[in-house]
């Protein structure tokens, strides 16, 4: 049987990067699709030998495959993450934050948030300015383009996963900047009438996420708010180092052009090469990648199998378990294969019945305001 094939740029990393790469390959083999990894070596030795030219290779490959999985890299002369973000114009970050079984937390509730953060503008590019000795001003920038991109991504995600969107800002106080944000988000939301959209004041949202986390699913926010909310949510979930995120770049029509997925943790040099690395975060990053290429069912299977096994106590040592990187990977891969075998694969192997997209993504081609991009 011909399996659908997907090409994925794989950015090789330092420390535990090689072990994580082997783990993801093993996991990918359990899927009823062929994932063809196109490696680009971002290890320190390669970066030193090739200089900035290695990023030309990385950018060319990602532009070609449109999706990439990145392993952690040591920051040396430059930060590979910063270089890639700049070179690929990755302007939106999607960071799911949920309580992960086995990860200790002070929070006793279940949390499952998708934070979609506009990662440009705000006050981050502003050098600020003193006014005399005793005052200072800063400039906060909000632009229609990135808000539109992030909003389209958030509402498309909501449509595909049957979730709700909450936008949160201080539009009653920051009338110009946050008012523009809410206006653009509303305009985009109007194109998705079936997606419930609620608006919260950002300070109220923080309290409500703590009091009633089940009320919130996808939360769309400007840069600073996304920064604050991500850290608060990760603190609640206790999963600062175990999450994953998507870094998204868009074309002129606000359609996702490239998506780079990575784990939140670093290179963990202290345990490198010891078969101790926990591959959960890279599995969750890979699960997001599967969603993005339209393999929603496979993405769900990878995420749910991983979390269910953690819940059952199948854990690596960092989470108090006995498993090694390899044994944990094998259990997850076998469980994913078992679950997928028990479920007939829909037409063309996809969770929906649309033809596979070529360059644009599942979420994007689902926007009714645009023709499907195949
Ligand atoms: P870097 O400089 O790349 O950020 P770091 O060691 O300073 O590396 P992390 O890599 O995030 O920061 O590691 C922090 C601690 O968490 C280390 O003790 C590391 O061994 C542990 N750790 C990080 N990632 C994992 C993982 N995937 N599995 C098991 N332990 C991990």
**pLDDT of 154 higher than 80:** yes
Query: Across the strands, what pairs with 211?
Result: none
If you take atom 22 of ligand 1, which residue's CA is the nearest one? 268
269 Cα to the center of ligand 1, angstroms:
7
**pLDDT of 347 higher than 60:** no
Question: Do the Cβ atoms of 117 and 221 come closer than 8 Å?
Answer: yes
Which of 265, 286, 323, 327 should be mutated for ligand 1, with most atoms under 8 A from CB?
Answer: 265
For residues 158 and 147, give the distance between their C-alpha atoms in angstroms, rounded to a whole number.
16
241 Cα to the center of ligand 1, angstroms:
8
Within 6 A (CB) of ligand 1 lie: 16, 72, 74, 241, 265-271, 277-278, 281, 318
**pLDDT of 308 higher than 90:** yes
pLDDT tier at 1, thresholds 50, 70, 90: low
109 Cα to the center of ligand 1, angstroms:
26
pLDDT digits (tens, 9 = 90+) for 294-303: 999 999 999 9
pLDDT digits (tens, 9 = 90+) for 74-108: 988 889 999 999 999 999 999 999 998 888 899 99
| CA Rg value for the chain | 20
pLDDT digits (tens, 9 = 90+) for 238-267: 877 788 999 999 999 889 999 999 999 999
Mean pLDDT calculated for residue range 10-39: 98
pLDDT at 277: 97
pLDDT tier at 359, thresholds 50, 70, 90: very low
pLDDT at 367: 37
pLDDT at 362: 38
pLDDT at 101: 84
The mean-pLDDT minimum among 6-10, 11-15, 321-325, 354-358 falls in 354-358
pLDDT tier at 314, thresholds 50, 70, 90: very high
Atom of ligand 1 nearest to the CA of 14: 3
Which of 70, 80, 102, 266 should be mutated for ligand 1, with most atoms under 8 A from CB?
Answer: 266
Instruction: Identify the CA nearest to 37 among candidates 9, 18, 73.
Output: 9
Question: Do the Cβ atoms of 160 and 366 come closer than 8 Å?
Answer: yes
Beta pairing class for 244-250 and 256-263? antiparallel
Atom of ligand 1 nearest to the CA of 73: 3
If you take atom 21 of ligand 1, which residue's CA is the nearest one? 268
Using DSSP, state whether 355 is helix, strand or coil.
Answer: coil
114 Cα to the center of ligand 1, angstroms:
24
Domains contained in the chain, CATH given: 1-94+240-374 (3.40.718.10), 105-237 (3.40.718.10)
**Averaged confidence pLDDT in the chain:** 90
For residues 246 and 258, give the distance between their C-alpha atoms in angstroms, rounded to a whole number.
10
Mean pLDDT calculated for residue range 348-372: 36
**pLDDT of 285 higher than 50:** yes
| Whole-number percent of the chain with pLDDT over 70 | 91
If you take atom 9 of ligand 1, which residue's CA is the nearest one? 266
pLDDT at 346: 61
**pLDDT of 227 higher than 80:** yes
**pLDDT of 331 higher than 90:** yes
The CB-side HSE value for 122 (13 A sphere, CA atoms) comes to: 18
Question: Do the Cβ atoms of 92 and 155 come closer than 8 Å?
Answer: no
The CB-side HSE value for 4 (13 A sphere, CA atoms) comes to: 20
pLDDT at 366: 36
pLDDT at 203: 97
| pLDDT higher at 359 or 13 | 13
For residues 111 and 213, give the distance between their C-alpha atoms in angstroms, rounded to a whole number.
6
**pLDDT of 120 higher than 70:** yes
Which of 20, 268, 283, 315 should be mutated for ligand 1, with most atoms under 8 A from CB?
Answer: 268
pLDDT at 365: 38
Question: What is the value of pTM for the model shown?
Answer: 0.89
For residues 7 and 9, give the distance between their C-alpha atoms in angstroms, rounded to a whole number.
7
Phi, psi of 125 (to 5 degrees): -95, 5
The CB-side HSE value for 249 (13 A sphere, CA atoms) comes to: 19
């Amino acid at each position: 049987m011909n399996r659908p094939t997907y090409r994925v740029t794989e950015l090789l990393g330092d420390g535990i990067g090689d072990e994580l790469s082997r783990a993801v390959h093993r996991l990918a083999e359990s899927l009823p699709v062929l994932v063809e990894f196109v490696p680009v070596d971002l290890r320190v030795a390669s970066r030193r030998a090739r200089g900035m030219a290695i990023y030309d290779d990385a950018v060319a490959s990602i532009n070609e495959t449109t999706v990439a999985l990145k392993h952690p890299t040591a920051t040396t002369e430059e930060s590979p993450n910063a270089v890639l973000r700049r070179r690929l114009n990755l302007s939106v970050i999607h960071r799911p934050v949920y309580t992960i079984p086995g990860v200790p937390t002070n929070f006793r509730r279940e949390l499952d948030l998708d934070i979609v953060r506009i990662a440009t503008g705000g006050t981050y590019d502003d050098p600020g300015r003193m006014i005399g000795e005793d005052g200072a001003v800063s400039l906060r920038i909000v632009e229609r383009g990135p808000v539109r991109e992030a909003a389209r991504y958030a509402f498309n995600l909501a449509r595909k996963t049957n979730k709700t969107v909450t936008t949160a800002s201080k539009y009653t106080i920051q009338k110009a900047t946050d008012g523009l944000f809410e206006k653009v988000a509303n305009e985009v939301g109007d194109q998705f009438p079936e997606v419930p959209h609620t608006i919260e004041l950002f300070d109220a949202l923080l309290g409500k996420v703590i009091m009633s986390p089940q009320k919130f699913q996808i939360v769309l926010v400007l840069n600073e708010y996304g920064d604050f909310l991500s850290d608060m949510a990760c603190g609640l979930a206790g999963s600062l180092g175990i999450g994953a995120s998507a870094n998204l770049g868009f074309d002129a029509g606000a359609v996702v052009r490239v998506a780079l997925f990575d784990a939140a943790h670093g290179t963990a040099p202290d345990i490198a090469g010891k078969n101790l690395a926990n591959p959960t975060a890279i599995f969750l990053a890979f699960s997001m990648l599967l969603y993005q290429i339209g393999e929603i069912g496979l993405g769900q299977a990878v995420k749910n199998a991983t979390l269910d096994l953690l819940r059952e106590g199948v854990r690596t040592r960092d989470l108090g378990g006995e498993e090694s990187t390899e044994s944990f990977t094998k259990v997850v891969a076998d469980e994913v294969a078992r679950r997928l075998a028990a479920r007939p694969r829909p037409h063309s192997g996809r969770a929906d019945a649309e033809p596979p997209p070529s360059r644009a993504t599942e979420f994007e081609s689902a926007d009714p305001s645009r023709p499907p991009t195949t």
